[in-house]
Structure 1
Amino acid sequence: MSPDAAAGLPVAEYLVLSSRLIPGLDGGYTIATLARARQLAGAGVADGAGPQLLTFDPGTVAAHAEHRATFAAQGVLTDPSQMRNLFDEAVAPGGGAAEWLLAVADAAATADPDIEYRVLDDASGRSFASLPVIPGNPDWHLTDEPVLVHDASGEVVGGVRGFRGLYRAWLEHVTASFGDRTIVVICESRQIGELIADWSDPRVRVVHTIHTIHLEAPYGPDAPTNALWTRWFRLADRFDAVVWPTTTQRDDVIARFGSSASHAVVPNPIAPVDSRDDLREPGLVVVLGRLAPGKRVDHAIRAFLRADVPGSRMEIWGGGPEQERLQALIDELDAEDRVELAGYTDDPGRVLDRASLVVTSTAFEGQPLGVVEAMLHGAPVISYDVRYGIRDVLQQGGGVLVPAGDIDALGDALHRVLTDEELRTRLSAEAPSIAAAWSPERSLAALTAVIADVVSRPPRR
């Protein structure tokens, strides 16, 4: 019996598609995508090497090699050879475009003189492709302007129909050697999903995962849909399954858009941790994450000062565009002795082990990775009740939910938990068991059920 079959996964070729995977970028998206690939590797896909991780960003071969090496050193990439990039493979050894790309180039395709092109060169400075540049347009990936293809002499010999034609040509090249075997494609990117929604290969089943909120402010269930997602929802029923990270988001989507798509819930896996309760520091309140406007860290600062618990202090870990403004607020409130912008940490686990509690005042969320990680370390979480994911976790226990945007309520909750030792001890004790719902084992079981279901049915395209 193959490892795939033994683990319950259907025997198939597995591909994970990601727009890019770059260390230090895209936060939870990168973490979750690599964790899913490790899950599949651990379940025996490709004899433990894991799925092929296909990325589509036009970086250099050297940069992509560095990314793979970094992920491998961090222990988040099982087999670096399984991580492949379109543009690395679009270059022929002797210069110019690779044979698979030359083979699909339409000689009649020419550049629009009114369109700017980004010329891509190999490490020797030889051109192999030119990409149309569509400035200021979030839908650049949908352009029909041709991607131009260069031969070994650097001359343009034709082109393919936009990024859709380029991506599909590479995917068909990658899958050409699979024969008639079933191909399970896990698409982690909305942009790529839009470009493969009509991929009608009978071998292919597309499981499209979701990582982000689909709503605009004020982020309620009836709030405007983010413009980038409006078109995607029209295509959702073409995917063999759409996988949401939380039940709340899945249910909101079905209530609003109907159930014509095949919706499922698979929590993103978060590995167990070895927490250090002996490091816990009484009175230490931690904020951990990117300092971006949507995180509303200023709310957390004001709420902490409102709580006004003697001996307590706040450490804010992370960097981002709000850093200067937040420091100015701390100075304005004369709180330098109690609130510290601690900067970036490469050991967030130790920060969470030290925390008496963690507070988040974000305006929205897509997946509650930070909340779950804090709870695994035994740190209770006090949070605004915002979509999506935080409620799915904290309504079970291990923390306190307060109305979104209510700084006074957030401050009152901080005061209550910091001053009630019995309450804080109870929340800390129950947090890890509640967070276990996001364990790799439960996540893999849910993902396996989704894949087994889609493989058992004809493709939707």
Structure 2
Amino acid sequence: MTLFPDAWYLLLSSRLVPDLDGGYTISTLARARQMTDAGVPALLLTVDPATAEAHAAHRAEFIARGAAVASEDFRNLFDEAQSPDGGAAEWLRAAARAGGADPSVPYDTYAGGAVALPRIENDPDWLLTTAPVVIRDAAGDVAGVLDGFGALYRAWLAHVVAGLRDRVDRPVVVICESRQLGELIVDWDDPDVRILHTVHTIHLESPYTVDAPINGLWERWLAVAPRFDAVLWPTSSQRCDVRERFGEDRVDVVAPHGVPMPAEVAPAEDGPVVVLGRLAAGKRLDHAIRAFARVVADVPHARMELWGAGAERERLVALIADLGLDAAVTLAGLTLDVGAVLDSASVYLTTSAFEGQGLALAEALAHGVPVVAYDIRYGPRDMLAGGGGILVPDGDEEALAEALTRVLGDAALRRRLAAEARAAAEALSPERAMRALAAASADALSRPTRR
């Protein structure tokens, strides 16, 4: 019997595109898959205005990779915005009011011309506009308008929910995965809908200390967060930091992103140091490479593999060449078999400046790979509290090299850390993640909505 209350469950994301948005996409799809395994299939809802053909290709790729079960698990606003006659769908026309386009704003058409969206240029807050969204009929004439993206998104969600209730009348739990979408649906006034809002990343700007400046998107989101029926934080550290700084007027729940436990394999005895993630500035892979130059001086046979793609690739290639590490450090590109990479590794290394939870680190622990990590917000300290790796002072490349050299040179230490890593990963198992999500859902449904 499922742990979850009897309800419709919807996972709302801005977009879901293969190999885009890093751990966000992976963890959102994983949550949906784990809910299905727990007996409560969830619909994956997206609002990106790509074509129906592009969405179908994305879904097929996710299914081929085993990241999703079936294409019927996905729905997209713009796939459903056009009626068979070519105009806007009935639900969209019914939600619109009389009006026309804003003549001062350029527009782009989508859904076969059924919807025209205002193009707000050079404004990071473009999603908050109330410039009219134009709804057109089959002849291309204006059938009405909606007041901005928020009204459009809420109209579609109301349509989706109405269809589900026609099948079985039960409450609805929306698990919102995107802060920008959360801001736009917090005014949705359906009393039988509960909104649980997940968190995927850090709320702080550089230098990412507890009292560092707040990211601008987070400032707006934190202002409306008390109206969500629960906020799901991936680590207890981030939850505590936010409550200490911003008060306790939210329903704050620790609900990590679940990571499956693979079958145990013997730790690699002579494998590489592995790094997994985007080749992005925030990952500070230059730290990893410079530290590894020190390692190779003491452990000449040591190798390091950097798996991922991104804007920093050329700069990292140059750094590897400048340090004479071409034979020791490999930029291995993207992989679709993370498990095989981790099973070949002797050590997992992370040098990120910040994380939300640290999905790749969690996967390394699940595969029994000893970890060396900078002590950053958020993730490593929480996950390594019971062992499984070595925390290094943030930014200390010399200490990073010393920790890597120590682990690579001590087989007994590697075996101990590998056993601790598997034990640490149990706290992040899908079963525990689903229990936390089910409990948050039950609590939210037991009381009136906070909206």
Q: TM-score, normalised by structure 1?
A: 0.94
SS in 2 for 1:401: strand
Q: Does 1:66 align with 2:57?
A: yes
Which residue number in structure 2 is paired with residue 396 of structure 1?
386
Secondary structure at the aligned position of 2:18 is classed as: coil
> How many Å separate the matches in 2 of 1:65 and 1:283?
39
CA contact (8 A) 2:133 2:145 kept: yes
Give distance in 1, aligned partners of 2:6 and 2:249. Answer: 27
Residues 7-31 of structure 1, C-alpha deviations (whole Å, 9 max, x = no match): 1211111111111111111111111
Name the amino acid aligned to 2:49: P
Distance 2:174 2:307 in 1: 36
Aligned to 2:279: 291
Distance, in Å, in 1 between the alignment partners of 2:200 and 2:43 is: 20
RMSD: 1.3
Aligned mate of 2:375, from 385, 389, 392: 385
One-letter amino acid of the counterpart of residue 409, structure 2: T
The 5 A counterparts of 1:334-353 are 334-353=324-343
1:50-61 to 2 correspondences below 5 Å: 50-61=41-52
Q: Which runs of 5+ in 2 are unaligned?
A: none
- Give the corresponding residue for 1:237: 226
- Look up the SS of the partner of 1:112 in the other structure: coil
Is the 2:79–2:111 Cα contact (8 Å) retained in structure 1?
no
Residues 395 and 401 of structure 1 are in contact (CA less than 8 Å); yes or no, is this contact kept in structure 2?
A: no
Partner of 1:85: 76
1:430 alignment counterpart? 420
**Paired residue for 2:153, among 167, 173, 177?**
167
Q: Is the 8 A contact 1:275 1:353 kept in 2?
A: no
Superposed, 1:281-320 pairs within 5 Å as: 281-282=269-270, 284-307=272-295, 308=297, 309-320=299-310
Deviation at 1:274, TM superposition (A): 3.0
Q: 1-side partners of 2:199 and 2:339: how far apart?
A: 26
The Cα of 1:283 is off from its aligned counterpart by: 5.4
The alignment status of 1:369 with 2:359, answered yes or no, reads yes
Aligned-partner Cα distance in 1 for 2:135–2:281: 41
Q: TM-score, normalised by structure 2?
A: 0.96
- Which residue does 1:147 correspond to in 2? 133
CA-CA distance at 1:419 after TM superposition = 1.5
Q: CA deviation at 1:80?
A: 1.8
Task: Select 1:191's aligned residue among 169, 172, 180.
Answer: 180
Per-residue displacement from partner, 1:126-175 (whole Å, max 9, x unpaired)? x1110001112121111000100110011222210000110111111111
Q: Give the aligned residue type for 2:427.
A: A
1:241 maps to a residue whose letter is A
Distance 1:42 1:283 in 2: 33
**1:250 aligned residue:** 239
Distance in 1 between residues matched to 2:335 and 2:226, nearest whole Å: 41
The CA distance in 1 between the partners of 2:331 and 2:57, in whole Å, is 30
* Alpha-carbon distance in structure 1 between the residues aligned to 2:343 and 2:328: 19
1:324 aligns with 2:324: no
Q: Distance in 1 between matches of 2:292 and 2:210?
A: 29
Is the CA contact 2:234–2:256 (under 8 Å) kept in the aligned structure 1?
yes
Matched residues in 2 for 1:43 and 1:422: separation?
A: 38
Partner of 2:404: 414
3-state SS, counterpart of residue 94 of structure 2:
helix
1:421 deviation in Å? 2.0
Percent identity of the aligned residues? 57
Q: Equivalent residue for 1:44?
A: 39
Structure 1 unaligned regions, length at least 5: 1-5
Residue 35 of structure 1 corresponds to: 30
Q: Distance in 2 between matches of 1:298 and 1:32?
A: 26
- Tell me whether 1:117 sits opposite 2:117 in the alignment: no
Q: Does 1:99 align with 2:85?
A: no
Native 8 Å contact 1:105 1:159 kept in 2:
yes
State the secondary structure of the residue aligned to 1:84.
Answer: strand
SS in 1 for 2:79: helix
